[in-house]
Amino acid sequence: MILLLGATGYVGQNFARELKARGRDFRTLSRAQVDYTQFTVLLSWLKKEKPDFVVNAAGYTGKPNVDACESARADTLQGNTLLPVTIAQACAAAGIPWGHVSSGCIYTGAKVRADGQWKVEKDLTQPHLWRLFLKDPGSFAGFTEEDAPNFSFRDPPCSFYSGTKALGEEAIVGVGQSYIWRLRIPFDEEDSPRNYLSKIQRYSKVYNNVNSISHRGDFVKACLDLHEVKAPFGIYNVTNPGAVSTEQVVQEIKAVLKPNREFSFWADDKEFYSVAAQTPRSNCILDGSKLLKAGVKMRPVSEALRDSLLRWKPETKS
Ligand SMILES: NC(=O)c1ccc[n+]([C@@H]2O[C@H](COP(=O)([O-])OP(=O)(O)OC[C@H]3O[C@@H](n4cnc5c(N)ncnc54)[C@H](OP(=O)(O)O)[C@@H]3O)[C@@H](O)[C@H]2O)c1
């Protein structure tokens, strides 16, 4: 039996759906039923029910966006650093392997090739980098699991949310047997305030940047596949291969959904941060080759995006 934590959340719902589709025996726990955030409560549940594997899709995300974490720092720290540590310690004490949904937002930028050398560039909105990405995306490479987070409390500036996610990873690495699955900007075909493709359509103005992103269903499948193929425990970047600019995503939305509106973009970071955002945003490219080497393949990002838009299900108002 698999224990799924956070099944009521945006990512957790998809784990529940996929586990059901795979015919896997699984149970869900919600804090309202059993307060799994308490070490003794969780450990005694694990010892009694003896799951073979635990999936942690619980955590604290700011709503409607990461700015909300700045005014809810205790909840953010609890959900993203203390909770994973509690689960890691309880699973280690009970001898149960587990997987933790982390985030790629602990990085900013990408590695960029210039004059035969790869150099980390933290801000991909610089005009010369922007032009290079459109002309030669092969000059850009993502951060690997070996690279230290560069958008974290150790390497500021960062958002408080990203800082707690990086600290959470740091605190659980090496405790028991775990997968750390890095999700990044989830999207899919289901219109929802949590879906990146919906967010872009609802913003008054769009922030243009370059990112690796994860189709929600593809992400969940890849995480469960890693466990099923018995891949070595450790950190995995779980994003659809490639990177896209927000402008390219807007072009796809226009081409497929043909929305009855024009899209405009914030002129630059100065305008974006003075009007629409408070805390720094992470925009980054991640390298997915470790996942591929483990035998788990995800669709290229262009394919996953196009397919989501072709199968788009608008949100029904109740
Ligand atoms: N959505 C994204 O854009 C995104 C991107 C990258 C990574 N992630 C990571 O993915 C994980 C799940 O995110 P999500 O978007 O599915 O979040 P969500 O919709 O807010 O759901 C999270 C679930 O976590 C549980 N939980 C446990 N402790 C909590 C706390 N202190 N505060 C709030 N909820 C708590 C809640 O379930 P119960 O109350 O039922 O137990 C809640 O339903 C998080 O670790 C997040 O950092 C999300």
Kindly report the CATH number that applies to the domain delimited by 2-310.
3.40.50.720
**Residue among 311, 169, 186, 309 nearest 240 (CA):** 186
Instruction: State whether residue 267 is helix, strand or coil.
Output: coil
Cα–Cα distance, 306 to 254 (Å, whole number):
11
Ligand 1: which atom is nearest the Cα of residue 100?
45
Q: How many whole angstroms from 45 Cα to the centroid of ligand 1?
A: 21
Ligand 1: which atom is nearest the Cα of residue 104?
6
Q: How many whole angstroms from 255 Cα to the centroid of ligand 1?
A: 32
Q: How many whole angstroms from 307 Cα to the centroid of ligand 1?
A: 26
Q: How many whole angstroms from 82 Cα to the centroid of ligand 1?
A: 14
Q: What is the pLDDT of residue 273?
A: 83
Q: What is the pTM (predicted TM-score) of this model?
A: 0.97
**Residue among 80, 32, 75 nearest 56 (CA):** 80
Q: How many whole angstroms from 190 Cα to the centroid of ligand 1?
A: 18
Ligand 1 pocket: which of 34, 61, 100, 200 to mutate (most atoms <8 Å of CB)? 61
Residue ranges of domains in the chain: 2-310
Give me the DSSP letters along 166-207.
HHHHHHHTTSSSEEEEEE-SEE-SB--TT-HHHHHHH-SSBP
Under DSSP, the state recorded for 43 is H
Ligand 1: which atom is nearest the Cα of residue 75?
31
Ligand 1: which atom is nearest the Cα of residue 37?
28
Ligand 1 pocket: which of 3, 11, 34, 160 to mutate (most atoms <8 Å of CB)? 11
Under DSSP, the state recorded for 136 is -
Percent of the chain with pLDDT over 70: 100
Question: Which residues sit with their C-beta closer than 6 Å to ligand 1?
Answer: 6, 8-12, 30-31, 37, 57-61, 75, 78-80, 83, 101, 103, 165, 183, 186, 194
Per-residue pLDDT for the chain (318 aa), expressed as one digit of tens each?
A: 999 999 999 999 999 999 999 999 999 999 999 999 999 999 999 999 999 999 999 999 999 889 999 999 999 999 999 999 999 999 999 999 999 999 999 999 999 998 899 999 999 988 899 889 989 999 999 999 999 999 999 999 999 999 999 999 999 999 999 999 999 999 999 999 999 999 999 988 998 899 999 999 999 999 999 999 999 999 999 999 999 999 999 999 999 999 998 999 888 888 888 888 888 888 999 999 999 999 999 999 999 999 999 999 998 876
Cα–Cα distance, 306 to 61 (Å, whole number):
27
Q: How many whole angstroms from 238 Cα to the centroid of ligand 1?
A: 17
Cα–Cα distance, 75 to 32 (Å, whole number):
16
**Residue among 221, 4, 213 nearest 99 (CA):** 4
Ligand 1 pocket: which of 60, 102, 284, 286 to mutate (most atoms <8 Å of CB)? 60
